[in-house]
Amino acid sequence: MNHFDINTTSSSEFGIFGIPCSPEKAQIHITPVPWEVTTSYGAGTAQGPYLIRQASEQVDFFDLEIGKTYEVGIYMKNEPKHILDLNNTLKPLAQELIHLKTSNPELNAEQKALETRLLNQINQGCSLMTQWVYEQTKETLKLCKWPVVIGGDHSTPLGAIKAISEYYDGKVGILHIDAHADLRKSYQGFHQSHASIMNNVLKLNPKPQKIVQVGIRDFCEEEYNFILEHPNDIKTFFDIDLKRDLFEGHTWNGICQAISGELPEKVYISFDVDGLDPSLCPNTGTPVPGGLSMNEAFYLMYSLHKAGKKIVGFDINEVSASGNLEDEWNGNVGARLLYKMCGWLAKTQKLI
Separation CA 156–CA 154 (nearest Å): 5
- State whether residue 218 is helix, strand or coil: strand
Average pLDDT for runs of 10 along the chain of length 352: 61 83 96 91 85 93 92 96 97 90 85 91 96 98 98 96 98 98 85 90 98 97 97 98 98 98 98 97 92 98 98 96 75 97 98 93
Task: Give residue 7's pLDDT.
Answer: 65
Strand order in the sheet with 310-317: 74-76, 28-33, 146-151, 310-317, 266-272, 173-177, 210-216, 234-238
Task: Give residue 212's pLDDT.
Answer: 98
Count CB-CB contacts under 10 A for residue 18: 22
Domains of the chain (ranges, CATH numbers): 18-348 (3.40.800.10)
Residue 70 CA from chain centroid, whole number: 21
Separation CA 220–CA 226 (nearest Å): 10
Task: Give residue 4's pLDDT.
Answer: 62
- State whether residue 290 is helix, strand or coil: coil
**Cβ–Cβ under 8 Å, residues 27 and 68:** no
Residue 333 CA from chain centroid, whole number: 14
DSSP-H helix ranges across 26-79: 48-56
DSSP-H helix ranges across 41-167: 48-56, 81-103, 109-142, 158-167
Separation CA 246–CA 242 (nearest Å): 6
Count CB-CB contacts under 10 A for residue 117: 12
Task: Give residue 190's pLDDT.
Answer: 83
Q: How many helices (H) and strands (E) does the chain have?
A: 10, 10
Residue 292 pairs with which residues in a beta bridge?
Answer: 276
If you write DSSP's letter for every residue of 147-198 in order, what string do you get?
EEEEESSTTTTHHHHHHHHHHTTT--EEEEE-SB----SSGGG-TT-TTSHH
